[in-house]
Each structure stands twice: as C-alpha cells, then as structure tokens.
Amino acid sequence: MSGLSRRSLRVEALALVLLGAVMAAAQRVTPPIVPGAATIAAVGFLLIGGTLAASLLEVVGLPHLTGYILAGAVAGPDLLGLVGHEAVADLAPVNALALSLIALAGGAELRLDGLRRGLRSLAWATLLHSVPVMLLTAAVFAAARPLVPFLRELPPAALAGAALLWGVLAITRSPGACLGVLSQTRARGPLASFSLNFVMSSDLVVVVVLALVLTVARPLLEPGTSLSLDAFADLGHELLGSVSLGVTLGLGLVAYLRFVGRQLLLVLVALGLVLTNVIDYLRLDWLLIFLVAGFVVQNLSRQGPKLLHAVEGTGEVVYVVFFATAGAHLDLPLLARLWPAALLLAGARAAFTAAAGVASARLAGDPPALRRWGFAGLVSQAGLALGIAARVAEAFPAFGAGFAALAVAVVAVNEVAGPILFKLALDRTGESAAAEAEAAAPGATAPAA
C-alpha cells in the first residue's frame, strides 16, 4: 500500500472518530431546539459515517454494505447511542423510500430476454430453494427447541406449526443486499444475472407460500380452528392489487419519461414517500408494486435506461441510508442472548441453500461457477423476513414475540454475512469489475470458478 493510500486511510479514520465525537457532543450539550432535529442529524451522520466506514473496510476486501451496517450498529442505541431509539423509529419513512427506489431499480434490471435465457435455471432454483429448504429449516427449528425458551412451552402440534412458519421466513432473500453488492462491484456474468433474476422474483413465491402455510399452520397453533379459505382470498387481493397498481405506476412513469422527463429523481422521491403510506393503508405489497413498475418501464417501453440512470444518480445514498438504518435497528442485547440458536439456524439455512444451489445447477446444466457459487447471493435477509416475523407476532400473540425476536437475531447474522459471501463469490468467479481488471493485468491467471 502506498504512502498516499495509508495517509488517506488515516485521514478517513480520523474523520470518522471526529464525526462521532461531534455527534456525541451535540447530543449532550445542545438541547433539542427544532422538532425532528435528531432525526435529521441521524440521517446525516449515518450517510457520512457509513460512507467512511465502507471506505475503510474496502481495504480488507469487505463489501460496502458491511461498512454501512456496522456504522449503524455502532452508532445505534445499544452501543454509542449516537442514533437513539426515537431517531431510529423516525427514520422508518426514509428507510421505506430507500427500499422503494431499490425495488424500482431491481425491477428495471429484470429484462425479458435474460429471464428467457435463464428460465430453466430459474425454474429449478425456485423449486429446490423453496420447498426442500423450507422443510429442512423447519425441522432444524423444531430440533432447536432446547435452545429457544418460547419453544419449550409449545405442545407438539403447535411446535410443528411454528416450525412451518419459520421455514417460510427462511426462504426470504434481500433484494437490497443483492443490488447493493452488484452496484458496488459492477459485476457482469452468469452468477450476477442468476442472483438478480432469482432474488427479484422470489418475493412473489414467498408471498404465495406464506398464505398457504398460514392456512395450514393455524389449526395446529390454535386448537379448535379449521382450515379457512380466507387466506387465499387475501392472497388474491394482495397479489392482483399489487400487480395491477405496479403496472399502472409503470405506465405512468413511461408517460412521464417520454413526454416530460425532467426532475425525475424528485418525482421518484415524492412517489416513494407518498405511495408507501397509501399502499400500506390498502394492505398491498409495496415492494412488489415498485418491482413490477420498474419491470414494466424496462420491458414495455424504451424508457428503461432513463429510469435506471435517474435512480443511479443517487449514487450509493439509498444503500447507505437503508443498510445503516438496518444496522441501527439491530437489537444487539437480544442477539447476545439468542446467539447459539441464531447461529445454528443461520448456519443450517446457509448449508441447505448451498446444497439446493448445487442440485438445481446440476439439474439445469449450469456452468461450474454457478454450481459452486450460485447460492452466495441468496444468503442475505432483510425487510421481507422481518415483515413476516411481525405478521406472525400479530397473528399468534402466544409465541409471536419470541418468534419475532429470534427472527431479528437470525436476520442480523445473515445481514452481515450475506453481502461478504456474495462479494467473495463475484470476485472468485471473475465477474466483479475489480476481478476483471486484475485478470486483464499482464501475467495474471484466470480466476477459479
């Protein structure tokens, strides 16, 4: 490392320390004069602190998302307290806005020609990463009963129902983490394409499976109840309503891009802030809506590049906000209490995901790189998993609080480990921009598949 690089790293580390000191001093010395000032300061700190932390960790090969998450966790309520509980709660609309832009970009990255080319791989992966992984993870959850306090009190039937619900949670992925790593690495190749297509389409599968499992699990968890078709009616309303609104939003964006085309980023921010609240009121899936909207713009018009350029104009701001806020949300004392069960469940999920990846790649005839590393982009979890946990907690109060707490702990492990694994895979397969540049250097050897 050159002297200039060392000097730059020292300056960035010093800036991060000074920034934290200024934030701490401001909190303790300056009274809250303006309502919401703490939230504004928290956003500013997480943006700057997350960016600096990501730059420092990049030296050792860690993805930027890890820096964002660690900056948020260290600054959050459980460690330094620079971002308090109230500020974290107030950041929810900002977080929703960031995720809506991530989902919109993710939908716009899905191209019909790419989906057609990878349809065989996508079909086998969807099958094997859904049913077997769900059932095997559910079995490990039930076997972990001695490590989880709330499970010890459940009778066998209720334990089976809770395990099935945990299996659904285990097959969720993180579109934000996938897009964030791909954005940083500028990766192109079979692994990047497969991961993007699978992660973006898997949310629809999870929504359907959740409704089915809720219908089956309710009689097990609540003796005296019977199978109900209401869940399927709710599922139809949610899916059809979300897709319809997504198509409408996509066509509206196409018209705006074609006939106006100015200040697009401001329009997207306004849509994100307003629509996420409206969609929650309508009980629709706003993540699916923005995914569909981006897909419509990309594949039913010529305006896809304009949309992607507008979202990419935010740089990494949306990823810093989303993942630094996620880091601040982490309940570290809870993770400390539940870490044996959390590590067991996270490790089992990763192992089953890897096995399903190898099997699906062999059946689909995928190249060796996908057989070895196809699972790497599927380990991360984030918002959808926590949303399912919150829904379970609301539907089954008897054990829901413990279920949600354990979900937070496991998601925390996957949220940190997943991006690191995915970036490693993209580097090893030679698909990241850095790996391509290294391979093109004189005397370089080809990357291992």
* pLDDT per position as a tens digit, 144-182: 888 888 888 888 888 998 999 999 999 988 887 888 888
Is 1 a residue whose pLDDT tops 60? no
Which domain range does residue 9 map to? 3-93
pLDDT of 444 reads: 55
Are 422 and 285 found together in one domain?
A: yes
Are 100 and 21 found together in one domain?
A: no
Q: How many domains is the chain partitioned into structurally?
A: 2
* Residue 444: inside a domain: no
Q: Using CA atoms, how far apart are residues 127 and 163, in angstroms rounded to an integer?
A: 20
Q: Using CA atoms, how far apart are residues 382 and 26, in angstroms rounded to an integer?
A: 31
Are 305 and 392 found together in one domain?
A: yes
Query: What's the residue count for the chain?
Result: 449
Are 13 and 101 found together in one domain?
A: no
Q: Are the C-beta atoms of residues 273 and 265 closer than 8 Å to each other?
A: no
* Residue 125: inside a domain: yes
Are 29 and 141 found together in one domain?
A: no
> What CATH code is carried by the domain that includes residue 308?
1.20.1530.20
Are 53 and 121 found together in one domain?
A: no
Q: Using CA atoms, how far apart are residues 350 and 129, in angstroms rounded to an integer?
A: 11
Q: Which long-range contacts (CB under 8 A, 24 or more apart) does 253-262 make?
A: 253/293, 253/296, 253/297, 253/303, 253/307, 254/296, 254/297, 254/300, 254/301, 254/303, 257/297, 257/301, 257/303, 257/306, 257/307, 258/301, 258/303, 261/306
pLDDT of 355 reads: 94
The predicted-structure confidence for 181-213, as pLDDT tens digits, reads as follows: 888 888 888 898 898 888 888 877 887 788 788
pTM, whole model, 2 decimals? 0.75
Q: Which of 132-141, 255-264, 385-394 has the lowest mean pLDDT?
A: 385-394
pLDDT of 227 reads: 60
The predicted-structure confidence for 19-77, as pLDDT tens digits, reads as follows: 667 666 665 655 555 555 666 677 777 777 777 777 777 777 777 777 888 888 887 78
pLDDT of 170 reads: 92
Q: Using CA atoms, how far apart are residues 448 and 428, in angstroms rounded to an integer?
A: 6
* Residue 442: inside a domain: no
The predicted-structure confidence for 303-316, as pLDDT tens digits, reads as follows: 888 888 887 766 66
Q: Which of 422, 330, 420, 334 is nearest to 382 (CA)?
A: 330
Q: Using CA atoms, how far apart are residues 148 and 343, in angstroms rounded to an integer?
A: 12
Q: How confident is the model at residue 4 (pLDDT cuts 50, 70, 90)?
A: very low
Are 380 and 263 found together in one domain?
A: yes
* Residue 110: inside a domain: yes
Query: Of 93, 110, 131, which closes a domain?
Result: 93
Are 55 and 156 found together in one domain?
A: no
The predicted-structure confidence for 218-275, as pLDDT tens digits, reads as follows: 888 877 666 666 666 766 777 788 888 889 989 998 998 888 877 777 787 777 777 7
Q: Using CA atoms, how far apart are residues 131 and 167, in angstroms rounded to an integer?
A: 9
State the chain's mean pLDDT as an integer. 79
Query: Of 76, 93, 110, which closes a domain?
Result: 93
The predicted-structure confidence for 97-134, as pLDDT tens digits, reads as follows: 777 887 788 788 778 877 777 788 889 999 999 899 99
Q: What is the mean pLDDT of residues 286-299?
A: 85
Is 2 a residue whose pLDDT tops 50? no
Are 89 and 99 found together in one domain?
A: no
